[in-house]
């Protein structure tokens, strides 16, 4: 008898689930973990949509795009969240995305008008070091100094690619020389951000390629103000993370609703202390404390998305050549 009741309950529950529309959101792994924004955003959106939000994750933004390309038209994704401005051109070229209709008062350092992608957070790449140490003010000063730097591989890491485009955007044809000068400062090139940041914390390097927002984590989560980002006077390369609705989605309204929710205050106020990036829209309560006294670059650098593919291939070759000497 007891089993019968359980079984009936299961059947009913399954039916209930079956009737709830499911929204598949593809994102990168760290977004959906318990420390990322995922859980709060899922809870908030499900409370208003009467739907079941399901995260489907890939390793990082680049892997996310690869996954989408592999699946093509047959993808079950309704929304893709976590591409950045270096990937949007390739993402757009797939033709898999639907136009978006979200309008919001974006607090981005650049004007945002994009009919496909909704920005949800942004940040500047920067070198992070210890407060009491010397702080070179640009790449040339860094190259002349004895500071030990750990960076990431542009072929396998988002910040790694960001640095490549940063130096290219700042120095153009002189980029190879800058890399050559930096060579003796670079301790090693790690496959991903985590390994590099871990090495920096362990004292293997004086500086690590990360974000201007990284010190906020240490201030807010650890009450440790000893980590700082170095302002560079060439300007800092900008990363804007975006989401887009998939054209072939069987839940187009839900997808658009989710994009709108992503730009809403409920989601945006979660972003800073979970994804450790600037929210795309300033929350009503303002930025959290640790975010207000961060380094703000004098100049924002960003390669137009259409120029990224050609430029990154050339920059990668220069990088490889300079550092392989």
Partner 1 sequence: MARSPVAVILGGAVALAVAALILGPLAAVLWHAGGAGWPSPSDWSAVRFTVWQAVLSAVLSGALAIPVARALARRRFLGRGVMILALGAPFILPVVAAIAGLLALFGRNGVLNSALAAFGLPGIEIFGLHGVLLAHVFFNLPLAVRLLLEGWRAIPAERFRLAAQLDMPPGAVFRLIEWPMLRQRMPGVLAVVFAICLSSFAVVLILGGGPAATTIELAIYQAFSFDFDLGRAATLAVLQLIMVTVAALLALRLARTDGMGAGLDRPMAIWTDRPGLRVQDAAVLILTALFIAAPMVLLVIQGLPALVQMPAVVWSAALTSLAVALASTGIAVLAGLALALPRRGLYDSIAMMTLAASPLVLGTGLFLLIRPFAFPGNHILAITAVVNAAAALPFVLRSLAPDLHATEDGFGRLADSLDLRGWARLRWLILPRLRRPLGFAAGLAAALSMGDLGVIALFPPPDTATLPLQIYRLMGAYRMEAAAAASLLLVALSFGLFAVFDRIGRHADT
Binding flag, residue 299, partner 1 (CB under 8 A):
no
Binding flag, residue 249, partner 1 (CB under 8 A):
no
Binding flag, residue 311, partner 1 (CB under 8 A):
no
Q: Are 159 and 193 in contact (CB under 8 A)?
A: yes
Q: What is the three-class DSSP state of 143?
A: helix
Binding flag, residue 131, partner 1 (CB under 8 A):
no
Residue with smaller CB distance to partner 1, 67 or 141: 67
Binding flag, residue 59, partner 1 (CB under 8 A):
yes
Binding flag, residue 90, partner 1 (CB under 8 A):
yes
* DSSP structure class, residue 80: E
Which two three-digit tokens encode residue 106? 């974006």
* DSSP structure class, residue 107: -
Binding flag, residue 228, partner 1 (CB under 8 A):
no
What does the alpha-carbon distance between residue 311 and residue 40 come to, in Å, rounded to a whole number? 37
Residue with smaller CB distance to partner 1, 53 or 169: 53
Task: Give the residue among 280, 269, 273, 264 at the shortest CA–CA distance from 49.
Answer: 264
* DSSP structure class, residue 95: T
Binding flag, residue 30, partner 1 (CB under 8 A):
yes
Binding flag, residue 187, partner 1 (CB under 8 A):
yes
In terms of Cβ atoms closer than 10 Å to its own Cβ (0-12, 13-18, 19+), residue 73 is exposed
Which two three-digit tokens encode residue 38? 């995922």
- Sequential DSSP letters for 235-292: -EEEEEEEEEEBTT-S-HHHHHHHHHHHTSHHHHTTSHHHH-SEESS--TT-S-HHHH
Q: Are 182 and 125 in contact (CB under 8 A)?
A: no
Binding flag, residue 85, partner 1 (CB under 8 A):
no
Helices (DSSP H) in 114-174: which residue ranges?
139-144, 158-171
Binding flag, residue 183, partner 1 (CB under 8 A):
yes
Binding flag, residue 77, partner 1 (CB under 8 A):
no
Binding flag, residue 156, partner 1 (CB under 8 A):
yes
Q: Which of 71, 174, 233, 265 binds partner 1 (CB under 8 A)?
A: 71
Residue 4 Cβ vs partner 1, minimum distance, rounded to whole Å: 28
User: Count of residues binding partner 1 (CB under 8 A)?
Assistant: 58
Q: Which of 12, 137, 201, 298 binds partner 1 (CB under 8 A)?
A: 201
Q: Which of 198, 253, 299, 310 binds partner 1 (CB under 8 A)?
A: 198
Q: Are 290 and 139 in contact (CB under 8 A)?
A: no
Binding site for partner 1 (CB under 8 A): 29-30, 32-36, 38, 55-59, 62-63, 65-67, 69-71, 74, 76, 90, 148, 153-156, 183, 186-191, 193-195, 197-199, 201-205, 214, 217-218, 221, 276, 316-317, 319-320, 323-324
């Amino acid at each position: 008898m007891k089993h019968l009741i359980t079984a009936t309950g299961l059947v009913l529950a399954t039916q209930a689930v079956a009737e709830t529309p499911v929204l598949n959101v593809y994102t990168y792994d760290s977004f959906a973990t318990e420390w990322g924004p995922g859980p709060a955003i899922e809870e908030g959106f499900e409370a208003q949509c009467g739907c079941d939000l399901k995260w489907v994750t890939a390793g990082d933004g680049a892997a996310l795009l690869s996954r989408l390309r592999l699946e093509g038209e047959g993808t079950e994704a309704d929304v893709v969240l976590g591409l950045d401005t270096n990937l949007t051109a390739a993402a757009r070229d797939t033709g898999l995305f639907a136009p978006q209709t979200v309008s919001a008062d974006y607090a981005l350092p650049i004007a945002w008008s994009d009919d496909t992608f909704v920005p949800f957070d942004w940040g500047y790449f920067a070198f992070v070091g210890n407060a009491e140490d010397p702080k070179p003010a640009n790449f040339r000063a860094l190259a002349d100094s004895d500071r030990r730097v750990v960076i990431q591989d542009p072929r396998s890491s988002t910040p790694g690619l960001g640095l490549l485009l940063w130096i290219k955007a700042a120095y153009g044809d002189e980029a190879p020389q800058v890399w050559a000068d930096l060579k003796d400062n670079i301790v090693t090139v790690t496959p991903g951000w985590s390994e590099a940041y871990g090495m920096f914390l362990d004292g293997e390097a004086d500086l690590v390629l990360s974000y201007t927002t990284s010190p906020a984590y240490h201030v807010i989560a650890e009450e440790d103000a000893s980590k700082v980002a170095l302002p560079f006077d060439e300007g800092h390369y900008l990363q804007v993370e975006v989401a887009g609705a998939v054209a072939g989605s069987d839940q187009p309204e839900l997808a658009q609703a989710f994009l709108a929710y992503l730009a809403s205050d409920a989601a945006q106020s979660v972003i800073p202390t979970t994804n450790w990036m600037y929210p795309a829209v300033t929350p009503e309560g303002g930025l959290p404390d640790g975010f207000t006294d961060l380094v703000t670059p004098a100049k924002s650098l960003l390669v137009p998305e259409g120029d990224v593919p050609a430029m990154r291939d050339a920059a990668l070759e220069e990088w490889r050549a300079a550092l392989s000497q």
